[in-house]
Structure 1
Amino acid sequence: MGYKVAIAGATGNVGREMLSILAERNFPADQVVALASRRSVGQEVSYGDKTLKVKNLEGFDFSDVDVCLMSAGGSVSKEMSPKIGAQGCIVIDNSSAWRYDQDVPLIVPEVNPDAIEGYSKKNIIANPNCSTAQLVVALKPLHDHAKIKRIVVSTYQSVSGAGKDGMDELFEQSRAVFVADPIENKKFTKRIAFNVIPHIDVFMEDGSTKEEWKVMAETKKMLDPKIKVTCTAVRVPVFVGHSEAVNIEFENPITADEARDILREAPGCLVIDKREDGGYVTPLESAGDDATFISRIREDQTLDNGLNIWVVSDNLRKGAALNTIQIAELLVERGYLDKRQAA
C-alpha cells in the first residue's frame, strides 16, 4: 500500500530536492502533491519522470494526506503545521519553527531514531539545522564509544543555505568582479564573492549569532544535554556543501585510529582520510551525495582525550531534503503511517 505525500514549498531549492530524492529512493508514494504559495500556483516541478503542477498550500485539504514535507519557511510552518497536524497528517518540518518545542521531536535517523515516538503529541516532527545534521551524524558514534565532554565547531557554510537568493548573489557578484560592474549586497551583510562573512542569522545578546546558538541547542537536544558546545558560523563563497572543523574533548581515551575505524562502520558516514595531497573531501565533492564525509582525523596534542575532525556534507541533501525523507522512511518502517491510514 502506498501513501499520499504533500511537499509544501515545492518550488524552492529544498522542495525541489525533496521531490528528486523521493523519486530516487523509491519512497512508497501512490500520490505526490506539490504545494506552494498563491504566487507559485500553476508552476511545474519535476518528480522522477513526472511533472507536477503546483497547487495552493493555503486552504488545501490534508485530511487524506499521510505525510506533509514542509519547506515553506518558519512563519508559514508556525501557522500551517498545527492546522495540518490537526487533520491527522504528520508534518515533517524543515524550518526552525518547531525544533525547540518540547512536544516536537527533533530527528536525525542515524542519531536518535527512537525519539520519533513523540510525534503524536502535535503530529509534527522537526528537521534540524543543516549544519547540525551533518555534525551529529559524525559525533554520535564517537560519543557512544568515548563520551564527548565538549566540542568546538567552526562552520564554513555555503550560500545555498541562504536559499536561491544567496546562490544568485554569489553568482552575480562573482560576475561583477570580472567585468568591473558595481557590486550590490542584497542577501548578505557584506560582499560574499571572494570573501568570507562570520555572520549567519541575527546577533544575540551574548554576541553569538542565532545560527551558532542553533548548533549548540540542537546538538544538546539530539545527542546529549551534558555536552558543552561552542560554535563560530561563517558564510563562505561556495554554492553547495557545508564544511566544519570540529575539535572534540572526550571523557574516555580514544585514538585517531580508533575513531577512523568507528566512523567507517557508522551509518551515514564516509571516511576519506589519507594523509597526502588531496586525501580529504571538500564541499565540491560532497555536492549531490547523501553521505556525511569525514576527513583529517587526528589527535589533539593539547588535550587529554582530544580529536580534530573535518566534516563535509551537501547541505541541501543531508542538511535538509534527504534527512526529511529519511524521517518519512522511519515513519513507514515503524508503521506510524499505517496507523494513520487505519484511523
Structure 2
Amino acid sequence: MGYKVAVVGATGNVGREILSILAERGFPADEVVALASRRSQGVEVSFGDKTLKVKALETYDFSDTDICLMSAGGAVSKEWSPKIGAQGCVVIDNSSQWRMDPDVPLIVPEVNADAIVDFTKKNIIANPNCSTAQLVVALKPLHDAATIKRVVVSTYQSVSGAGKDAMDELFTQTRAIFVSDPVEPKKFPKRIAFNLIPQIDVFLDDGSTKEEWKMVAETKKILDPKIKLTATCVRVPVFISHSESVNVEFEKELSAEDARKILREAPGILVIDTREPGGYATPHEAAGEDATFISRLRDDPTVDNAINFWCVSDNLRKGAALNAVQIAEVLVNRKLITARSKAA
C-alpha cells in the first residue's frame, strides 16, 4: 500500500512540475490530491495520464495524508504548514518561510540527507532557494575533497524563478519591442526583455539583496557554517534554468582536473566541458533535465588552490519541484514515515 500525497499550490509553475515529477519517477502514492486556494477549486491539472480536479486547501482534512508538498508561497506556508504538521502529515515546503528555522531541516538529498531526521520537531522540511540548491550540489563533493574556504558566485537567474506572471512579462515585453509597442515593467523594477536586472528580491541594509543573503545563509546551514560566500544575483531574460559563475578557494590543493574527476562521479551532476565552441551547458539544454550541469572548469591562477566553473540547472526542477520529490523519496526509502492508511 502506498502513500497519500497532497500538492498545495497545484496550479502554479512549481506545483504543476511537482505533479509531473511524481508521475515520472513513479512515486509510491496510492492517491495524489491537488490543492490550491478556493478561487482555483475545480480547475483541472495533469498528473501523468490522469487529470485531477483541484480542491480547496482551506477545507481539506490532512488527518489521513502522509506527505504535503507545499508550493504556495511563504504567507500560505506560515499559516498552514504548522496546522498540517500538527495533523501528522509531513510538510515539504518550497518557500523561504522555514529555511532558517533551527527546528526545520533544510535539505538537498545529494548533500545532507542525514539531516532529515530532525523533521519530527515540527513535521516540516524546507526546500532551499533555487539558486542555492544547484550550487551546493556542485560544492559538496569538492568540499569533501579539499575543504572550501571561500566562494564567489554570480548568478544569471531565469524569470520563472519569479513565477508565471514574470514569464508572461518577459513574453509580453519581447513581443512589444518587436512591434514597437510601449514596454511597461510590472513584475520587475525595470524592463526585463533584452536586459539584465541586478536585483532579485528586496535590498537589505548592507546593500545586498535578500536573494544574495539567502544563498549565503542557506549554504552555511546545508553545507558548512565555516564557508565564506559572497553572491551577486542577476535576473536575465531567460524563461527557464538558472546559471552561475562560481569561483571556489580551497584549504587544500585541488586542481581543475581533480575537480573534474570528482564531479563526474558525484550524484546529480553532469559534466559537459570539452573546451571547444559549444562544449558547455546553457540554460536551454538544462531546461527539463534533472541534472546540475557543470562546464568551463579551469584553474584560477590569481589565488592558491582555487578553481572556476559554470553551473546550470533547471530551477523549476532541481531548484524546486524535483528536490521536493527527492526529499519525499528519502522519507520513504529510509522508512522515516509509515503510510497512515496502512498503519490503520
| TM-score normalized by the length of structure 1 | 0.99
2:264 matches 1:290: no
* TM-superposed deviation, 1:342: 3.4
Distance 2:39 2:272 in 1: 44
Contact kept in structure 1, 2:268 and 2:292, CA below 8 Å: yes
Deviation by residue 1:41-69 (Cα, 9 ceiling, x = unmatched):
00000000000000000131000000000
Q: Does 1:164 align with 2:196?
A: no
Counterpart in the other structure of 1:308: 308
Q: Secondary structure at the match of 1:176?
A: helix
Distance 2:326 2:64 in 1: 21
Secondary structure of 2:332's aligned partner = helix
Gaps of at least 5 residues in structure 2 are: none
- Within-5 A mapping of 1:34-49: 34-49=34-49
Question: What is the alpha-carbon distance in structure 1 between the residues aligned to residue 204 and residue 162 of structure 2?
Answer: 19
SS at match of 1:193: coil
Give the CA deviation at 1:339: 7.1
Q: Which residue of 1 aligns with 2:343?
A: 342
Alignment deviations for residues 54-113 of structure 1 (CA, whole Å, 9 cap, x no partner) = 000013100000000000100000000000000000000000000000000000000000
| Partner AA of 2:337 in structure 1 | L
Q: Which residue of 2 aligns with 1:11?
A: 11
Q: How many residues align?
A: 343
User: Which residue of structure 2 lines up, in the alignment, with residue 254 of structure 1?
Assistant: 254
Contiguous gaps of at least 5 residues in structure 1: none
Q: RMSD of the TM alignment (CA)?
A: 0.8
Matches within 5 A, 1:1-343: 1-338=1-338, 342=343
TM-superposed deviation, 1:21? 0.2
Instruction: Report the residue type matching 1:217 in the other structure.
Output: A
Q: What TM-score results when the alignment is normalised by the length of structure 2? A: 0.99
Distance 1:214 1:266 in 2: 24
Sequence identity of aligned pairs in percent? 76
Structure 2 CA distance, aligned partners of 1:321 and 1:339?
22
Q: Which residue identity is paired with 2:240?
A: V
Say which SS state the counterpart of residue 254 (structure 2) adopts: coil
- The one-letter code matched in structure 2 to 1:111 is V
Alpha-carbon distance in structure 1 between the residues aligned to 2:89 and 2:136: 28
The Cα of 1:338 is off from its aligned counterpart by 1.5
The 4+ residue runs of structure 1 with deviation greater than 2 A are 339-343
